[in-house]
Amino acid sequence: MKIVQETPELMILKNNSTAGFVSGGVFVLGGIYAMMTLDIPLWGGGVAVAIGVGLILLSRITTIIIDKNTKKIIFRWKRIIGEKSREYNFDQAQRIELRETYNQTQQGRNRSLQIFFIFSGGEEVVLASDSGTVRMQGVPITVNTVGALGQKVAGFVGIPYEERRAATATQMISAVQTAIQNATQPEGKKQKEEESEK
């Protein structure tokens, strides 16, 4: 997702996901080529064509229009087989939230960042996402481009920007140590410590 137009009153973001269309086209052409020229079962090429058509039909272009004049946030999702849109007023937008998660894979840890528009009633709409790790001379470097985008959009709309990051190993160890200490202290000592803190 990137900002394609910005004025003091209007911001337009677009995610022109051509990768799905290109991948789908490659599968369709490869499947047709395989059915016509290669000595493989007809269904083998048919599967490739079906996958390609599925990729093309599922690919979508997302456009987000934020208009200060009308105080509206409009989400549009276009696919080859149709279009869908949602519209919100500025006063429905509560915050923009970045969420960071980690997945363990065979290649190591993979980081995922997603930015959400949070609206009243708890409704969430994905603004942008990013995953992976950039490595420089073997050292993982994290590049948070979606965070910068989220901050800019939040500032434009005039709502808070918050980050929910995964706990680090140090934070988790500290929390476990505190829980163990609290569980092993005698009840009377806990009460005295709580009273002295007040």
Q: Give me the pLDDT at residue 68, please.
A: 93
Spans in the chain with pLDDT lower than 70: 16-17, 102-111, 131-144, 165-169, 171-172, 186-198
Total tally of structural domains belonging to the chain: 1
Residue 86 in any domain: the answer is: yes
List of residues 6+ apart from 114 with CB closer than 8 A: 98, 99, 101, 126, 128, 129, 130, 146
- Chain segment 150-167, per-residue pLDDT in tens: 888 888 988 989 887 666
SS3 25: helix
Residue 188 inside a domain? The answer is no
Q: Which one-letter DSSP state was computed for residue 163?
A: E
**Statement: the pTM of the whole predicted model exceeds 0.85:** no
Using DSSP, state whether 8 is helix, strand or coil: coil
Domain enclosing residue 84, as ranges: 2-17+60-182
SS3 (DSSP) at 138 = coil
Q: How would you class 53 by CB atoms within 10 Å of its CB: exposed for 0-12, middle for 13-18, buried for 19 or more?
A: middle
Q: Which residues is 166 bridged to in the sheet?
A: none
Handedness of CA 181, 183, 185, 190 (dihedral sign): positive
Q: Exposed, middle or buried by CB within 10 Å (0-12, 13-18, 19+), for 52?
A: buried
The structure tokens listed for 197 are 């803190």
In a domain, 25, yes or no: no
Q: Is residue 89 part of a domain?
A: yes
Q: Is residue 55 in some structural domain?
A: no
Q: Is residue 176 part of a domain?
A: yes
- Which residue carries 């290109």 as its tokens? 22
Residue 31 domain-assigned (yes or no): no
The two tokens of residue 164 are 């929910």
CATH code of 108's domain? 2.30.29
Asked if 108 contacts 92 with a C-beta cutoff of 8 angstroms, the reply is: no
| Displacement of CA 67 from its chain's centroid (Å) | 23
Beta bridge partners of 84: 77
Kindly state whether residue 23 falls inside one of the protein's structural domains.
no
pLDDT the model gives residue 72: 92
Cα dist from 29 to 9, 33, 48, whole Å: 45, 6, 9
Q: What was the pLDDT predicted at 73?
A: 92
Q: For residue 52, give the nearest of 17, 82, 26 by alpha carbon.
A: 26
